[in-house]
């Protein structure tokens, strides 16, 4: 055994003293428009930005694999939305950079200017052009709204009656359409007693709960619309035409984040379920795989799915249904 150890040490020393420079050819790359946008019928006001931060139109451009410059958004794109007849129904211009219209000071976010409301079942084409780049485009048909049969929230006892930390169990049931392949997202938020949003915390999965089984691909679970990693799409592949149930332990804080801290108590929990297009479902899945493989040199390649012709990224569609639960 001693002889083997010496040989192994000599071999390791010899290998460490050899250095070989390998020139890797740069992969060919044609710069293209890169974009992310989820079309929906919701008006894009401040409430939209709060709920659907990840759905806003964002425009950038691709760069080569060996390019180390930080990639930023582009404010010089020409973007429009067209109906089935090819008529322009919406145009987009760079957002001002306010918190309601994108991250402060960050370029690349766009907002609509014509106030068009897309219709369920109709096809739409998004076209985006940057100076010197080929026009990128993608087409989708806006899916039908999901059907929420019921939703309940059962609070757990609070150890400290003066605490603003609340937890409980959220349950909802969908009636799935057997005539179509369906893809869903679900999330929730708080409203005051007049049904208006406030500055409370988001309604998130209670990761401290022993019964929480979050993060599994293929499980119907609550997402967070403001965190890319916490978006969990669900396909009805194994439940086509059946009733689909979501049960999740959740947590929220009723303390106010606004200046002065004077927030009313929340009166409702509003559950949102979105029907999303198949391309959006595939993109969200690929993004989760990409995040999961980050920093792992032995992980399988995890490229992001794309449905943009002559470009990269996602043009997805979503149609929402809501269910309002009165809080005790």
Name the residue with higher pLDDT: 263 or 272.
Answer: 272
Q: What is the DSSP string of 271-326?
A: EEEEEE-HHHHHHHHHHHHHHHHTT-TTSPP-PPP---BTEEEEEEEEEEEEEEEE
Q: How confident is the model at residue 150 (pLDDT cuts 50, 70, 90)?
A: very high
Q: How far apart are CA 92 and CA 89, in angstroms?
A: 11
Residue matched to tokens 């087409």: 139
Domain residue limits, the chain: 33-141, 148-303+318-326
pLDDT value of residue 1: 43
CATH architecture of 33-141: Sandwich (2.60)
Residue-wise pLDDT for 274-318, tens only, equals: 999 999 999 999 998 888 887 777 878 888 999 999 999 999 999
pLDDT value of residue 99: 45
pLDDT value of residue 97: 55
Longest pairwise C-alpha distance within the chain: 82
Residue-wise pLDDT for 21-54, tens only, equals: 666 677 788 999 999 999 998 776 656 566 677 8
Task: Indicate the pTM of the whole model.
Answer: 0.84
Name the residue with higher pLDDT: 6 or 268.
Answer: 268
- Of 147, 174, 142, the closest CA to residue 277 belongs to 142
């Amino acid at each position: 055994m001693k002889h083997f150890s010496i040989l192994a040490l000599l071999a390791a020393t010899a290998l460490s003293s050899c250095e070989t420079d390998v020139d890797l050819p740069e992969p060919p790359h044609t710069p293209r428009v890169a974009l992310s946008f989820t079309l929906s019928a919701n008006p894009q006001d401040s409430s939209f930005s709060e709920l659907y931060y990840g759905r806003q139109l964002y425009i950038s451009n691709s760069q080569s694999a060996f390019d180390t410059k930080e990639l930023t958004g582009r404010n010089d794109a020409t973007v429009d939305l067209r109906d089935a007849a090819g008529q322009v129904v919406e145009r987009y211009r760079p957002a001002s950079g306010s918190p309601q219209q994108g991250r402060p000071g960050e370029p690349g976010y766009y907002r609509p200017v014509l106030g068009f409301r897309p219709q369920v079942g109709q096809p739409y084409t998004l076209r985006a052009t940057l100076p010197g780049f080929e026009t990128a485009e993608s087409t989708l048909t806006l899916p039908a709204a999901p059907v929420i049969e019921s939703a309940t929230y059962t609070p757990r006892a609070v150890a400290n009656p003066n605490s603003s930390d609340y937890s409980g169990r959220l349950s909802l049931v969908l009636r799935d359409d057997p005539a179509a392949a369906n893809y869903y997202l679900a999330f929730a938020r708080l409203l005051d007693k007049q049904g208006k949003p406030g500055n409370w915390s988001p309604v998130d999965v209670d990761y401290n709960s022993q019964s929480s089984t979050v993060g599994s691909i293929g499980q119907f679970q609550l997402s967070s619309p403001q965190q890319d990693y916490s978006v969990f799409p669900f396909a009805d592949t194994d439940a086509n035409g059946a009733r689909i149930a979501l049960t999740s332990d959740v947590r929220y804080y009723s303390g106010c984040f606004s200046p002065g801290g004077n927030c009313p108590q929340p009166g409702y929990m509003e559950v949102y379920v979105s029907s999303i297009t198949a391309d959006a479902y595939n993109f969200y899945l690929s993004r989760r795989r990409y995040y999961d493989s980050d920093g792992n040199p032995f992980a399988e390649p995890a490229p992001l799915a794309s449905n943009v012709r002559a470009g990269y990224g996602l043009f997805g569609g979503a149609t929402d249904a809501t269910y309002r639960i009165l809080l005790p």
